[in-house]
């Protein structure tokens, strides 16, 4: 079996990172991208989004002849004759919360048309609704008489640390028929050093496991944010409470930071997908529903206070430091910054914004918010504002000391949406400092 050749369909976060990392591990990889403009830049080794170290790794792969980009699956298959087809196309959310499988089905259809004497593996990296792997396997069985195997391989990488998450995963999950799972497992051997677990299971458990992981992480964030609200109301300090929780080994230390709620392309979408699936299967989903609505409210945590402190919106400029849903990415999907900018704008405030990487994406989204001020750096954004909200914890914002604020910011209120600024120093310097869950 020519098992060192594979293709990846879809050059989004998951597909491009997976393809590039497999190439850097020595596999010969073809990545299929049907957006002509995106394809041109990919061929030049330019990553279409901001992800640390990905462009460098892409260029290495291209120069070593291990990584190549194609406009369609057919030409990639003809040239590479792969045994593995990784499906990493988007599964956009439909209005009812279900995932749209149109692109996955198209990718499978192309794979079904491959004529080969050897077994072929269609590896589902896209996050798909529970039952998809099983359904696609039935179609494949019928159309190829057992030549094409469908294996679920959910991806757990995070934006901002995508390359290291892929190269050194905490675990790899594979779901499907045992022989097929074993064949795909071989591809991951070099990524799973030091006894990192490879979890082999059925396709339904792999699919549900991925949704469950995101639901579980999102629920921790919402729970700590729930505690933060009570901490704000009662005069507690959430940083100390976080430590009390994190040092209990039964609870664990990660995903327990209070803030303006979670954003991104996965948590919000997967929770809606989970709720939808519960509805389809007649399963009660009140916990997941609460997380979803609670998180939307959390994004607007400071709004009431701002309206109370600054009752004349037309005379008040508010600056937002950070627009991306988290640092080290230019992704603004479901970012708290969108809800905040929209809220302040609709309430009549003047809004200034700055983000080190996400200005382009934000501008494209914010066309309906006329007259926002787009700033080219943090100093510019702080100038003339009466209040500032730190939305994304970029390092350059974390480094803003009380002295720096004194020289750059003539306003009075500093709202720290990520609890990363030196609150006590800022108060001593005369500012009104408000964090999440801090008195």
Q: Which residues make beta-bridge pairs with 173?
A: 199
* Contact in structure between 159 and 331 (CB atoms under 8 Å): yes
Q: Which is nearer to ligand UDX, 33 or 242 (CB)?
A: 242
Q: Is 158 in the site for ligand UDX (CB under 6 A)?
A: yes
Q: Which is nearer to ligand UDX, 131 or 209 (CB)?
A: 209
End-to-end CA distance of the chain: 64
For residue 49, the tally of other CB atoms under 10 A from its CB is 17
Q: Is 10 in the site for ligand UDX (CB under 6 A)?
A: no
CB of 342 to ligand UDX, least distance (A): 17
Among 90, 175, 259, 437, binds ligand UDX (CB under 6 A): 259
**How long, in residues, is the chain?**
439
Q: Which is nearer to ligand UDX, 343 or 412 (CB)?
A: 343
Q: How is residue 358 written in tokens?
A: 């996400």
Q: Is 397 in the site for ligand UDX (CB under 6 A)?
A: no
Q: Is 320 in the site for ligand UDX (CB under 6 A)?
A: no
Place of tokens 């990493």: 88
Among 27, 121, 257, 415, binds ligand UDX (CB under 6 A): 257
Q: Is 435 in the site for ligand UDX (CB under 6 A)?
A: no
Q: What is the CA radius of gyration of the chain?
A: 24
Among 47, 114, 130, 157, binds ligand UDX (CB under 6 A): 157
CA torsion, ordered 193, 118, 19, 175, to nearest 10 deg: -60
Q: Walk across the sheet containing 373-374 and list its strands.
A: 373-374, 350-354, 317-321, 387-390, 413-416, 432-434
Residues 6+ apart with CB under 8 A from 421: 390, 397, 398, 400, 414, 433, 435
Q: Is 49 in the site for ligand UDX (CB under 6 A)?
A: no
Stretch that binds ligand UDX, among 15-23, 128-136, 137-145, 157-165 (CB under 6 A): 157-165
Q: Which is nearer to ligand UDX, 66 or 326 (CB)?
A: 326
DSSP 104-124: HHHHHHHHHT---SS-EEEEE
Stretch that binds ligand UDX, among 48-56, 70-78, 129-137, 213-221 (CB under 6 A): 213-221
- Taking the C-alpha atoms of residue 433 and residue 439, their distance in angstroms, rounded to an integer, is 10
Among 166, 262, 409, 431, binds ligand UDX (CB under 6 A): 262
The Cα angle at residue 240 between residues 234 and 244, in degrees rounded to 5: 110
CB of 385 to ligand UDX, least distance (A): 23
- Taking the C-alpha atoms of residue 24 and residue 168, their distance in angstroms, rounded to an integer, is 13
CA torsion, ordered 390, 433, 315, 312, to nearest 10 deg: 110
Q: Is 221 in the site for ligand UDX (CB under 6 A)?
A: yes
* Contact in structure between 174 and 62 (CB atoms under 8 Å): no
- Taking the C-alpha atoms of residue 226 and residue 173, their distance in angstroms, rounded to an integer, is 32
Q: Is 267 in the site for ligand UDX (CB under 6 A)?
A: yes
CB of 439 to ligand UDX, least distance (A): 20
Q: Which is nearer to ligand UDX, 33 or 155 (CB)?
A: 155
CB of 296 to ligand UDX, least distance (A): 13
CB of 68 to ligand UDX, least distance (A): 26
* Residue numbers 101-140 binding ligand UDX by CB under 6 A: none
The Cα angle at residue 334 between residues 329 and 336, in degrees rounded to 5: 85
Q: Is 306 in the site for ligand UDX (CB under 6 A)?
A: no
Stretch that binds ligand UDX, among 23-31, 137-145, 262-270, 356-364 (CB under 6 A): 262-270
Q: Is 322 in the site for ligand UDX (CB under 6 A)?
A: no
Please choose, from the candidates 376, 325, 387, the residue with its C-alpha nearest in 3D space to the C-alpha of residue 353: 376
Q: Is 326 in the site for ligand UDX (CB under 6 A)?
A: yes
Catalytic residue among 87, 266, 375, 381: 266
Q: Is 381 a catalytic residue?
A: no
Give the binding-site size for ligand UDX (rule: CB under 6 A).
19
Residues 6+ apart with CB under 8 A from 376: 354
CB of 19 to ligand UDX, least distance (A): 16
Q: Is 358 in the site for ligand UDX (CB under 6 A)?
A: no
Q: 87: part of which helix (H) or strand (E)?
A: strand 84-87
**Residue numbers at the binding site for ligand UDX (CB under 6 A):** 155-159, 214, 217, 221, 255-257, 259, 262-264, 266-267, 325-326
Residues with active-site annotation:
266
């Amino acid at each position: 079996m020519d098992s060192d050749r594979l293709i990846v369909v879809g050059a989004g976060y998951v597909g491009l990172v997976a393809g590039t990392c497999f190439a850097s591990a020595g596999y010969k990889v073809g990545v299929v991208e049907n957006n002509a403009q995106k394809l041109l830049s990919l061929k030049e080794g330019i990553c279409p989004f901001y992800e640390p170290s990905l462009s460098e790794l892409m260029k290495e792969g291209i120069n070593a002849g291990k990584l190549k980009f194609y406009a369609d699956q057919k030409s990639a298959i003809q040239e590479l004759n792969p045994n593995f087809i990784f499906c990493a196309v988007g599964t956009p959310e439909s209005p009812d919360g279900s995932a749209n499988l149109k692109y996955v089905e198209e990718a499978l259809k192309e794979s079904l048309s491959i004529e080969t004497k050897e077994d072929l593996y269609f590896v589902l990296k896209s996050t798909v609704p529970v039952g998809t792997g099983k359904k696609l396997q039935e179609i494949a069985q019928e159309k190829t008489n057992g030549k094409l195997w469908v294996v679920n391989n959910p991806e757990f990488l995070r934006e901002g640390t995508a390359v290291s998450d892929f190269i050194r995963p905490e675990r790899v999950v594979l779901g499907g028929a045992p022989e097929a799972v074993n064949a795909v497992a071989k591809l991951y051997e070099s990524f799973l050093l030091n006894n990192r677990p490879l979890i082999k299971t059925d396709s339904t458990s792999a699919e549900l496991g991925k949704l469950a992981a995101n639901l579980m992480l999102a629920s921790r964030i919402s729970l700590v944010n729930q505690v933060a609200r009570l901490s704000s109301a009662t005069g507690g300090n959430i940083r100390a409470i976080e430590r009390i929780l994190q040092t209990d080994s039964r609870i664990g230390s990660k995903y327990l930071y209070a803030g303006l709620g979670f954003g991104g392309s996965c948590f919000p979408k997967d929770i809606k997908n989970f709720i939808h699936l519960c509805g389809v299967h007649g399963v009660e989903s009140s916990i997941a529903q609460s997380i979803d609505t609670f998180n939307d409210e959390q994004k607007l945590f400071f709004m009431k206070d701002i309206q109370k402190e600054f009752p004349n919106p037309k005379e008040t400029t508010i600056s937002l430091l950070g627009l991306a849903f988290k640092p080290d990415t230019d992704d603004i999907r479901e970012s708290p910054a969108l809800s905040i900018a929209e809220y302040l704008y609709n309430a009549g405030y003047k809004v200034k914004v700055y983000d080190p990487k996400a200005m382009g994406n934000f501008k494209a989204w914010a066309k309906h918010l006329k007259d926002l001020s787009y700033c080219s750096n943090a100093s510019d954004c702080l100038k003339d504002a009466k209040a500032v909200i730190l939305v994304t914890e970029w390092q350059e914002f974390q480094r803003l000391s009380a002295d720096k604020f004194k020289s750059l910011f003539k306003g009075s209120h500093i709202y720290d949406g990520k609890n990363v600024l030196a609150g006590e120093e800022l108060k001593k310097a005369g500012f009104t400092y408000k964090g999440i869950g801090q008195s």
